Structure 1
């Protein structure tokens, strides 16, 4: 690009209104996603051109050192094929080999993701992540994961949640492999001082069973809370460090309650009867063998909380939200409901979709979790939200764009005249959106 072209483009951007600039950003984002798809297709074609069958008959060395381009059983590629391809895209031969492996696996082992890429719906980053995560699985297991995650591979989920979804499906497809990985991880327990120690400060890392670490975290939090009156001038982090020191050497602390601390841990485990894999909130998928072994060896009492009856949650005639209603809201909305938000934390705000001061009830269908930052955006920055049904939140940004958020993620919905609706469901949803918001 020449200097004059650059200045011309900058001038064009400066002349755009806010709405025009957002439309430009959207179109550039779509072009970037399509460029990524084309690069992936090129990587696959490079593997075709460098099959050992394409070598001269006398080239035994290149043929003897050829290996599967992706997972075991996929077509082979010559030893040095990735080097030239990688140089052209400014990456190492290793990086290029990974790209080629993902492209080959997607075509040969993940047919639904492959079709989604060809139709322009699936994101390359999502498809590549699934290809890498399923490389050790059989072709049948990989195909099952493919079908389970393809609907969420269009960018509707923030990256951390998509990774968690894929991890869970991979574990469910191959529980024997998940259990082997858990057993291997058990050998990696350690307490280790970091080598990066400067300015009189040091770092200690502890790796152990998830429940053990959750218990330690709960104990530190509990003691730090008690220290608020003892050292009120200290920051939250400073009190937590002091709490750790008191727990490691309780004899140095005068408060007898701290010496006898008994932390309470809430472990939220989600599973269906008969399934080999469960999901431990804040951790990820674990096998039921791990659950049985871990909870059998935990010291102290274990309290099992019954499953909440979501349909039986009565509204409350008050702004404050009882804990049981909060728990029900968290089950209906497993994540922050702001568009494309990633937070799964249980410690954020519960927002009244229609404000309580404007007649919005404290009830299922008008409550949803958000971080404090997103809550403030909704309150002060011109964003509006409605829940046409419990579990579905529709947003309108200050410039008139609509987004639908449900447990499967976020999707852009298009009103009449802005762009053709994608599906019949989107047409219905858009009608509900336009009816639910003020003009």
Structure 2
């Protein structure tokens, strides 16, 4: 390569790095501006009360019952002591505008309020684009439980290094602030540290794809802190059952057998107990029967391998419809996808009770008289809409309320409770749809799409109190109207 070519290549490389630097800076400035705007929005929906004062319930008091008042817009404590309280329903607009869940938006608004009112120096550096938003939010989340004076102490000491302070450094400063300004609470928490034993079963991760292997896991992580005596008993029992599995012909390695052994321990209940019973003797150990509830969704795609109406999508890599997968969708359990073979393994045990739910035809619509839907209509609606239908909400419809889109009228026509008039809304978003916001005096509303007007079928269009619109279908939330393509 001659000198001219090397110079050209070096110039091109420099231009690329300059572009990375410039766009990174622009992204930081834009993110900071968006974060400040969230804080401005929250400030416009605050009360004169601050965290620590009695919280006011918003709404009309002259006609509604107390329970109805509690269901309406309310002030929430999102920041630490001394920060103003924020109207709950205003968070819904933030969630929809950012395309995130209500819980994520609530955390964002809480961090913005914490920084604006209790960590003003750090907030000023974020607004100037000198500190990444994520670093400022990390500090805000650490100071939330401090007194107002303690938060100010952290703000003064960390502001000038907020752009490079590590999490442990911030945590140590927070601990010092708590000890300085709230010594009674610090001592009480230290005394309670001995009660930190726990056992956590990470059910929320079951069925998701392993990022390293790209395969379906079908497993969960378990971790905890036990009393030493309990841990020794558990270790002896797990080791004993793992050896038994070898004797019964299991050829898995030791780690796998130990994980299987813990499940066997749970089902057998054959450990030695030191609990005291009324009769003086523990009951005879019994083997717990495993119950598997299968929601079998069968449509034309599963039979013919073609896509019509509601049905599984064809995988672009395999060319199949994915009907060899099972979807976990049971209240109280995590949602996710597992292979049909794993379900067969679960059901193969003679100690498993299998309940088969009836097939639901999503192309058939039913209606009944009366306000409360029967089980078959409720199941139909929840299968059609697997999540809360509010924009960007990801909560399972299995635990959601069923909302009458057109309000139920006791004196109205028959058939108002139908599969076409019921939609799942989680309790929070059901409240936001039912009750109006204090500031705007308006509610969230939604309607089914009309394909005759060029709108996509089997979808809903939501309108927020400020007039923003969002399209929701069984696959999620989409911009509406759709952005123009060039």
- Normalising by structure 1, we get a TM-score of 0.40
Larger RCO, structure (CA 8 Å, separation 6 or more): 2
> Between Structure 1 and Structure 2, which shows a larger proportion of helix residues?
1
> Normalising to structure 2: TM-score of the pair?
0.36
Larger radius of gyration: 2
